[in-house]
Amino acid sequence: MFRVEDKTIFSGENFFYRGIDQEGNRVKGKIEAENSREALEVLGDKGYIILKLKKQKTMKKRIQRGTKGNEKKLIFFSRQLAILLQGGLPLGQALDLLAKQAGDRRMKGVFQEIKGKIMQGHSLYAAMSEHRRFFPEFFLQMIKMGEETGLTMKILFNMAEHFERNLQLKREIKEVLRYPLFVLAVALGVMGFLVFNVLPYFSSLYMDYSQELPLLTRRLIKASQFIRTNSPYFLLFFLFITLLFHILKSRKKCRLWLDTQKAKFSPTRKFFWAFVGNNFALLLKAGLTIDRSVEMIAEQAGNLFLRDGLERTKQEVEGGELLSNSLQKWLNPDPFFICMLRMGEETGKLDEMTARAGSYYLEEMENWVKNIVSFLEPLLILLIAGLVGLIMVAMVLPMLDMIQVW
């Protein structure tokens, strides 16, 4: 039997240990020490022979490593905290309630740690900054601005709407793409079954056929044999191309070229300007200056071409250049986006005009995806039917020849 001892103290590192005491009894427990060496010395002074010593993983480290805030979690945090603050609840109590409502154990730990920092006198931004894996930098900067301007509650509501819009867009795209991807998967499965199971059977069946097989049948049998024989090489080639693509993508020049091509492609171009417009409106409404807003959008941009252009734009805006002129110079947006920017600059409603431009491009992108999918659905079905029909005709033609000979 083990004798369990607990020497946990909340100021240092905790270590689990197992060993044998001076009387030969097995012991196990937990001890606090600065490091493993100190833990062994303390246990050795007690006369223990240590068989196993393991450092305890603290909740904070587990949270920081394993918890990442997706849209759903960020929406829950933003909207619920804003509602509780709007109801007059102190920040500490509001965070405590959020922790109790959180269904995810790690998310609950994040909220509890933020509340602890708040109770120690830290600002909300400082407390949240220790969980940068959970909260994106963009969100943290918005909270910081909210605390500086006294608009934290309003910014939380705006952030909730922002994340809800992003989540809704992702859901719509997934819904639209689900059926074509299913049809494509079925097509690949059917073709694989025919090539690796059906065609070999008919090929062996026709081996003793004295007359020459029809051209279509011969070509199809040879293609099937080639695919089956070289399928491992096809797989290796595919893996090689995938690896080469990732290697080239990691190189800045290649990635910049790819990102430049993405910026020229109509759907991704619409997405870029929807991203810029919506985020710019959100930042301006929070009270950020134009140059600071451009800088924060550039930090969020995953596209190197877009980021480089925004950074150059920020430098010129700091020098007194109009945002519309600088963006047109470095990124050359659509005329509609430039027109909306100039209207905003002239009327003093830049946040409103960029929000409208962002919404317009989101709708355009959604319509483009729906149109493409409505075109692909019948095309994929016709492609499957055509390939299956071609294989079946090629296999039946020799049978018809046999019937004519008999």
pLDDT of residue 210 exceeding 80: no
pLDDT over 70 for what percent of the chain?
Answer: 91
Q: Please give the average per-residue pLDDT across 311-319, as a whole number.
A: 92
Element (H or E) spanning 332, and its range? none
pLDDT at 404: 66
Q: Topology of domain 63-135, per CATH?
A: Receptor-associated Protein (1.20.81)
How do beta strands 2-7 and 26-33 pair? Answer: parallel
pLDDT of residue 94 exceeding 80: yes
**Which residue type is seen at 255?**
R
Query: Domain spanning 151-406: which CATH class is it, in words?
Result: mainly alpha
63-135 shares its CATH topology with 151-406: yes
Quote the tokens at residue 25.
């009894």
pLDDT at 406: 55
Length of the chain: 406
pLDDT of residue 392 exceeding 80: yes
Confidence of residue 4 (pLDDT cuts 50, 70, 90): very low
pLDDT at 2: 43
pLDDT at 86: 92
Q: In what order do the strands lie in the sheet with 13-20?
A: 2-7, 26-33, 13-20, 49-55
pTM (two decimals)? 0.66
Task: For residue range 341-363, list pLDDT tens digits in order.
Answer: 999 999 999 999 999 999 899 88
pLDDT at 59: 45
Q: Does 6 or 94 have the greater pLDDT score?
A: 94
pLDDT at 61: 44
pLDDT at 38: 76
Q: Does 24 or 69 have the greater pLDDT score?
A: 24
Q: Which residues contact 46 (CB under 8 A, 6 or more apart)?
A: 21
Task: For residue range 248-304, list pLDDT tens digits in order.
Answer: 878 888 888 888 888 888 778 888 898 899 888 888 887 788 998 898 888 888 888
285-to-35, 96, 281 alpha-carbon distances in Å: 49, 29, 6
How do beta strands 13-20 and 49-55 pair? Answer: antiparallel
Ranking 108-117, 326-335, 366-375 by mean pLDDT, the lowest is: 366-375
pLDDT at 338: 93
pLDDT at 1: 44
216-219 contacts: CB < 8 A, separation 24 or more?
216/390, 216/393, 216/394, 216/397, 217/394, 217/395, 217/397, 217/398, 219/394
pLDDT of residue 214 exceeding 50: yes
pLDDT of residue 45 exceeding 60: yes
Task: For residue range 153-203, list pLDDT tens digits in order.
Answer: 988 998 898 888 888 878 877 877 788 888 888 888 888 888 888 888 877
Residue 191 has φ and ψ, to the nearest 5°, of: -65, -40
pLDDT of residue 368 exceeding 70: yes
The span from the CA of 182 to the CA of 217, in Å, is: 30
Average pLDDT, the chain: 83
Task: For residue range 48-88, list pLDDT tens digits in order.
Answer: 877 778 776 554 444 344 445 578 889 999 999 999 999 99
The span from the CA of 205 to the CA of 199, in Å, is: 10
pLDDT of residue 239 exceeding 90: yes
pLDDT of residue 142 exceeding 90: no
Domain boundaries, the chain: 2-56, 63-135, 151-406
